Amino acid sequence: MQRDAKRALIGVLDGIVYKIAGNPPDRSYLVNIMGSRNLLEALAGLDRRPRAVLFASTSNVYGNAGVEVIDESVPVRPGNDYAVSKLAMEHMARLWLDRLPVFFTRPFNYTGVGQSEDYLLPKIVGHHARHAKRISLGNLHVSRDFSDVRNVVEVYARLLELAPAGEVFNICSGTGHSLGELLGMLERIAGYKIDVFVDPRFMRHNEIAKLIGSNQKLRRAIGRVPITPTYETLEWMFGHARAEFERKTIETLTTPRATPHQPALATTGVANKPPQSIR
């Protein structure tokens, strides 16, 4: 996007800008660092500057932290290009603190209705909604902290109202679940047990074994942190996915099938005369 176009787009925003970026690894550095810098430069040039600028980083900057629960004081040890690009984005954006009220979030995993099945939980939910017999997954023993996307949106809105320039906050539930536990929840929700194949292709050599966050700093800043139990989030996602699957199934069954093309019948020259029966 050209910088002039960016200025025109940002100029219509009402004082608060929320910036988030997520990209394939080959573009992570370009988009997360230079793309973010271009945005900051455009914002700083506005006549009416935003009251708060939220940059969404990632909890992956902590890497394999070696502690049970990760708070914002844990040293960062990014273990992949995506996490490195996000940490570099944080450092770059801090250079603009004298001109813009920038702050940062480090969200742990979050999910909800509408997330692509390219992601883990929607994939598992989708398979159960379709009553698939088998699913291929990676390491079943990794533990992750999952939040409901509706909770994340509420937290972001409250942080934007607070506008805590220069601060960084974990966005998390504070509770971790292994992949095996999540499969157990879906088994209860869907009413059957799926066959799990551990596929070596999904095993990562630099896999973070445990990623669970502390939201104490967030609670001190905004007060109560909304937390929907993971089981309820999965029920919500399963109900939506199941309804969508049934809708598509009904559409498939009720949509008339196209008939094979038949050659046109020779006409007799009499208008509107019905064709002769073909015996």
What is the C-alpha to C-alpha distance for residues 136 and 198, in angstroms, rounded to an integer?
6
Residue 279: pLDDT band with limits 50, 70, 90: very low
Is the predicted pLDDT of residue 11 greater than 60, yes or no?
no
| Amino acid letter, residue 176 | G
Residue whose entry in the numeric block shows the structure tokens 């939040």 = 147
The whole-number pLDDT of residue 208 equals 76
Digit-coded pLDDT (tens) for 71-119: 999 999 998 999 999 999 999 999 999 999 999 999 999 999 999 999 9
Whether the Cβ atoms of residue 88 and residue 29 lie closer than 8 Å to each other = yes
Digit-coded pLDDT (tens) for 18-61: 556 656 777 889 999 999 999 999 999 999 989 999 999 999 99
Q: What is the CATH number of domain 3-112+147-175+209-254?
A: 3.40.50.720
Q: What distance lies between CA 11 and its chain's CA centroid?
A: 27
Digit-coded pLDDT (tens) for 223-243: 999 999 999 999 999 999 999
Dihedrals phi, psi of 229, to nearest 5 degrees: -55, 140
What is the C-alpha to C-alpha distance for residues 1 and 35, in angstroms, rounded to an integer?
9
Cα of first residue to Cα of last residue in the chain, in angstroms, is 65
6 CB-near residues (< 8 Å, 6+ apart): 38, 39, 42
The three-point CA angle 247-248-253 to 5° equals: 100
Domain boundaries along the sequence of the chain: 3-112+147-175+209-254
Section 256-277 average pLDDT: 47
